[in-house]
């Protein structure tokens, strides 16, 4: 049976279609697995695929629904899981050739919650080694292919690279990612997706490789803000409509420092086109001073590097580094030479920046900026060194939300360009634990902007 993409109109539309009898969970799962079989040899999004258990779970969900047991809107939804998250019965590599699954431990409460919601887990998606990398490049286990250009291998963004590629290519309804310095929002930007960096502590992290317990968060990569809102509301039973915010009168802060430096022309053009739409909808946009943003490189590397080395152990890191991705090994090695004083000062400064952010939000409801300064570049331009330094800017605009202790999203904006080409993202940031408000704003904005096009994979689909 040939199926149209069952998630092209969103998760809510899919759930209605199933409950109206037009489609079954098993058919949708078969469709996703067929797309994986056809597309993954080229796109390399998946590290592990679990055909047997996925189909068995989907069939079981069909039987439950037929018996009158409806688990809700995530029931029977085929999803993918980033390979730094333990899923019982599946391998976990953490993107490395060095064995570290013992660090993750058993399957955590998030995956158990998704199982209870009826989700069908298709498999594990590729990640940058130990989730430390913004470009998506993994020399150890391979770099997924950005589906927006089938002629040129472009970076998918990281570290949740495979999750983004799998979702953008229609191989799953949504995928789990993690975000320590932008690892959900960066690949969302590079793949034309909606990515939700949740407030730290909102999604449980047990069973997840701890890159940086100080900064780690988890969230979904999906097609739209509406899908992200549905996931958020169902997982956290959050149906508080009083949190809804209209775009009219919304106070938006546009940071004066760092976020708008060295933008690709098309990224800049798209951002100002979105800003114009916001102004037309009645939002108020004001430039705000955030001089503390200049401190990114003086704080972030010392927290993350030190905590990764503490997780791996010095001896284990030194043993593994010769087979590690060279950039990941170089970034992690910062932790070997960071003094206790430097680490503690960095953590304290991170906490102070949360206070700074809280004070700045007294002037506005949210901050806006481009998610990433550039369009996805060709992998060869990083490997030959011609754009290696620029590639490091992939996380510049996203790391700051982690350091300021914010929740944040990235939504597609490439279709706002005069002549759209490759994906880029529009970032919205709000204070800790205002995820519902953030998603409501995103839903309203996406109603104006539209979701944007999907990549053309017709040459691989036949």
Q: How do residues 184-208 score in pLDDT, each as one tens digit?
A: 999 999 999 999 999 999 999 999 9
Query: Could you give phi then psi for residue 31, rounded to 5 degrees?
Result: -60, -45
Of 159, 346, 395, 442, catalytic: 159
Q: Is residue 435 pLDDT above 60, yes or no?
A: yes
Q: Taking residues 5-16, what's their average pLDDT? A: 92
Tell me, yes or no, whether 2 lies in a domain: no
Its domain, for residue 316, covers 11-461
Tell me, yes or no, whether 3 lies in a domain: no
Q: Taking residues 219-225, what's their average pLDDT? A: 98
Q: pLDDT category, 462, cuts 50, 70, 90?
A: confident
DSSP 8-state class, residue 322:
G
Tens-place pLDDT, residues 380-408? 999 999 999 999 999 999 999 999 999 99
Query: Could you give phi then psi for residue 238, rounded to 5 degrees?
Result: -100, 100
CATH label of the domain that carries residue 253: 3.90.1300.10
Of 82, 126, 321, 360, catalytic: 82
Distance CA(407)–CA(174), nearest Å, equals 19
Catalytic annotation present for 322: no
Q: Is residue 3 pLDDT above 70, yes or no?
A: no
Distance CA(333)–CA(337), nearest Å, equals 7
Q: Looking at residue 238, what is its pLDDT?
A: 63
Of 96, 183, 306, 442, catalytic: 183
| Residues contacting residue 357 through CB under 8 Å, at least 6 positions apart | 404, 405, 406, 431
Chain centroid, CA 136 distance in Å: 12
Tell me, yes or no, whether 5 lies in a domain: no
Q: Is residue 289 pLDDT above 90, yes or no?
A: yes
Q: pLDDT category, 2, cuts 50, 70, 90?
A: very low
- Give the DSSP H/E element, type plus range, for residue 400: helix 396-403
Looking at the DSSP bridge assignments, the partners of residue 82 are: 125
DSSP 8-state class, residue 184:
T
Tell me, yes or no, whether 4 lies in a domain: no
Max CA separation in the chain (angstroms)? 63
Catalytic annotation present for 82: yes
Q: pLDDT category, 1, cuts 50, 70, 90?
A: very low
Q: Read off the pTM.
A: 0.97
Q: Taking residues 160-179, what's their average pLDDT? A: 98
Return the percentage of the chain with pLDDT > 70, whole number.
Answer: 98
Cis peptide before 159 (omega within 30 of 0): yes
Tell me, yes or no, whether 411 lies in a domain: yes
Where do the DSSP E strands lie in 278-354? 284-288
- Polymer length of the chain: 462
Q: Taking residues 403-427, what's their average pLDDT? A: 96
Task: Give me the number of domains the chain comprises.
Answer: 1
Closest by CA position to 79, among listed 58, 109, 93, 96: 58
Tens-place pLDDT, residues 26-72? 999 999 999 999 999 999 999 999 999 999 999 999 999 999 999 99
| Residues contacting residue 299 through CB under 8 Å, at least 6 positions apart | 346, 349, 350, 353, 403
Closest by CA position to 254, among listed 290, 228, 224, 218: 290
Q: Is residue 294 pLDDT above 90, yes or no?
A: yes
Distance CA(431)–CA(389), nearest Å, equals 31
Tell me, yes or no, whether 31 lies in a domain: yes
Tell me, yes or no, whether 204 lies in a domain: yes
Q: Looking at residue 158, what is its pLDDT?
A: 97
Q: Is residue 240 pLDDT above 70, yes or no?
A: no
Catalytic annotation present for 159: yes
Tell me, yes or no, whether 1 lies in a domain: no
Q: pLDDT category, 457, cuts 50, 70, 90?
A: very high
Q: Looking at residue 244, what is its pLDDT?
A: 57
């Amino acid at each position: 049976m040939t199926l149209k993409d069952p998630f092209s109109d969103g998760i809510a539309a899919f759930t209605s279609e199933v409950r109206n009898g037009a489609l079954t969970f098993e058919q949708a799962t078969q469709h996703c697995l067929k797309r994986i079989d056809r597309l993954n040899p080229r796109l390399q999004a998946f590290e592990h695929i679990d055909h047997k258990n996925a189909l068995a779970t989907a069939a079981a969900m069909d039987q439950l629904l037929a018996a009158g047991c409806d688990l809700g809107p995530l029931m029977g939804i085929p999803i993918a899981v980033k390979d730094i998250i333990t899923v019982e019965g599946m391998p976990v590599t953490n993107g490395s050739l060095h064995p570290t699954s013992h660090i993750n431990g058993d399957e955590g409460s998030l995956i158990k919650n998704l199982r209870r919601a009826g989700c069908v887990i298709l498999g594990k998606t590729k990640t940058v080694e130990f989730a430390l990398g913004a470009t998506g490049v993994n020399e150890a286990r391979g770099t997924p292919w950005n589906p927006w250009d089938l002629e040129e291998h472009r970076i998918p963004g990281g570290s949740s690279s495979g999750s983004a590629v799998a979702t953008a290519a229609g191989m799953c309804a949504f995928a789990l990612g993690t975000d320590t310095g932008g690892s959900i929002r960066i690949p969302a930007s590079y793949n034309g997706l909606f990515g939700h960096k949740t407030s730290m502590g909102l999604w449980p992290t047990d069973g997840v490789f701890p890159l940086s317990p100080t900064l780690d968060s988890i969230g979904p990569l999906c097609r739209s803000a509406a899908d992200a809102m549905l996931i958020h509301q169902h997982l956290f039973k959050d149906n508080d409509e009083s949190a809804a915010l209209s775009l009219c009168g919304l106070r938006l802060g546009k940071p004066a420092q760092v976020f708008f430096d060295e933008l690709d022309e098309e990224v800049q053009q798209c951002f100002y086109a979105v800003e114009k739409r916001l102004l037309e909808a009645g939002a108020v946009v004001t430039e705000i001073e955030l001089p503390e943003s200049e401190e990114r490189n003086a704080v972030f590397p010392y927290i993350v590097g030190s905590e990764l080395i503490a997780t791996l152990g010095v001896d284990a890191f030194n043993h593994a580094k010769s087979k590690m991705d060279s950039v990941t090994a170089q970034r992690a090695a910062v932790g070997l030479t960071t003094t206790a004083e430097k680490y503690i000062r960095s953590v304290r400064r991170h906490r102070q920046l949360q206070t700074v952010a809280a004070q700045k939000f007294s002037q506005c409801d949210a901050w806006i900026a481009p998610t990433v300064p550039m369009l996805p570049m060709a992998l060869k331009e990083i490997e030959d060194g011609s754009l290696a330094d620029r590639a490091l800017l992939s996380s510049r605009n996203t790391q700051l939300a982690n350091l300021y202790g914010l929740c944040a999203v990235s939504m597609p904006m490439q279709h706002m360009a005069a002549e759209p080409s490759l994906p880029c993202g529009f970032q919205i940031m709000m204070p800790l634990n205002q995820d519902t408000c953030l998603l409501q704003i995103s839903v309203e904005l996406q109603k104006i902007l539209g979701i944007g096009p999907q990549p053309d994979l017709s040459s691989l689909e036949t």
